[in-house]
Amino acid sequence: MNKKDLGLALLILVVGAVVAMINPRFLSRINLANTANLIGLFGLFSIAEAFVLVTAGIELSVGSVIALLGVIFIDMIVVQGVPWPIATVIVIVIGGILGSIHGWLITRMKLQPFVVTLCGLLIYRGIARFYTADGTAGFSYGDNFPVLAHVVSGRTAGIPHSIIAFGVLALISWYVLHRTVFGRHLFAVGKNEEAARFAGINTQRTIVAAYVICLILTAISAIFLAMYTRSVHPASHGNFYELYAIAAAVLGGFSLRGGEGSIVGVVLGVILLQVLQNLVNLLGIPSSLNFAVMGSVILIGVLADNQFNRYRERKRQSRMANSVVSGAEQTG
């Protein structure tokens, strides 16, 4: 855990303490369980976004992919009668295909990640609305999938399975990003793609892999969210989730310039955003201000990241100047 992560953890403790003093219901078992569940649900696609941000890319279609794959998943198991394990695999495969298309357009066609994923945001949302004739895909009365419901939406010892899945995914992602050659390649590409290419890294394959991983994890998140809401209205389901994911990652130390960040930071960023959202709800502040809070958090995170990088660059230049001076004195 680096200094940024420690600072963010301290901020969470301070905000949590303030919220608890303002409204003691914050520490009630029901509220903590619900907050943990939401942390798990939103954390899944926030980690997905982190894999792309570290390469200096961006994935703006996360919310639309969640809507589209949620609609497809519910339609397959409710209407088409596809067994849910097979439907799960199909949805994950579709997510991987969409990720590979994004990666191909960015690396082979040399399109900007912002443009590619913005188009994806619009296309997938439109397909989802067309797929349901702008209606709602949901479970009919009497539809019952007890095993699926328990696996995705159940609890063990009072702990929501979503937060358990989030914890497992965070551990795996931490190992991949910080302890494997592939993870080092992701950071290298984000820091300087041209230098990484000259160092022998297949930068195109690395970038494509980042987008594939991102949308595979988003597909898993889509299943959890579909079972949580029990219905998917494609016009609104998943709206602005990509901004939530970016906010959590930026708060966690992922730079929009790429090459920086930690999974621990993303976990802490997700927790902080949910604590803030819980504060908004407990204080009776209109829910419409949630997006204002999120936007403010992104802005503060970017400003803090910019100032931190400037401070670090000044310290580096100062050390270089001191070493030059000391070297000159020794020579003289």
pLDDT in tens, 237-280: 999 899 889 989 988 888 888 999 999 999 999 998 898 888 87
Q: What mean pLDDT is reported for the chain?
A: 89
Q: Tell which wins on pLDDT, 150 or 68.
A: 68
Distance, in Å, from the CA atom of 315 to the CA atom of 30, rounded to the nearest integer, reads 47
Q: What is the per-residue pLDDT for 8? A: 81
CB 92 within 8 A of CB 215: no
Report, as an integer, the average pLDDT of 156-181. 95
Q: What is the per-residue pLDDT for 155? A: 92
**What sign for the dihedral angle of Cα 183, 188, 193, 195?**
negative
The pairing of strands 137-138 and 231-232 is: antiparallel
Distance, in Å, from the CA atom of 258 to the CA atom of 254, rounded to the nearest integer, reads 7
Q: What is the per-residue pLDDT for 72? A: 96
Tally of domains in the chain: 1
Residue 227 placed within a domain: yes
* pLDDT tens string 192-203: 999 999 999 999
Distance, in Å, from the CA atom of 113 to the CA atom of 119, rounded to the nearest integer, reads 10
Distance, in Å, from the CA atom of 126 to the CA atom of 216, rounded to the nearest integer, reads 20
Q: What is the per-residue pLDDT for 143? A: 62
Residue 211 placed within a domain: yes
Residue 289 placed within a domain: no
- Specify the range with the lowest mean pLDDT, choosing from 51-60, 64-73, 136-145, 251-260: 136-145
At residue 123, does pLDDT exceed 90? yes
Distance, in Å, from the CA atom of 285 to the CA atom of 277, rounded to the nearest integer, reads 10
What are 27's two structure tokens?
A: 């520490």
What are 144's two structure tokens?
A: 């019952």
Strand segments, DSSP code E, in 93-175 are 137-138, 155-156, 159-160
Residue 307 placed within a domain: no
Residue 74 placed within a domain: yes
294 confidence band (pLDDT: 50, 70, 90): low
Residue 129 placed within a domain: yes
The structure's pTM equals 0.89
299 confidence band (pLDDT: 50, 70, 90): confident
Distance, in Å, from the CA atom of 32 to the CA atom of 18, rounded to the nearest integer, reads 15
Q: What is the domain range of residue 101?
A: 37-266
Distance, in Å, from the CA atom of 109 to the CA atom of 160, rounded to the nearest integer, reads 43
Closest CA to 232 of 112, 101, 330, 91: 91
Residue 17 placed within a domain: no
Residue 25 placed within a domain: no
Which letter, b or e, does each residue of 59-95 get, where b requires 16 or more Cβ atoms within 10 Å of its Cβ?
bbbbbbbbbbbbbbbbbbbbeeeeebeebbebbbebb
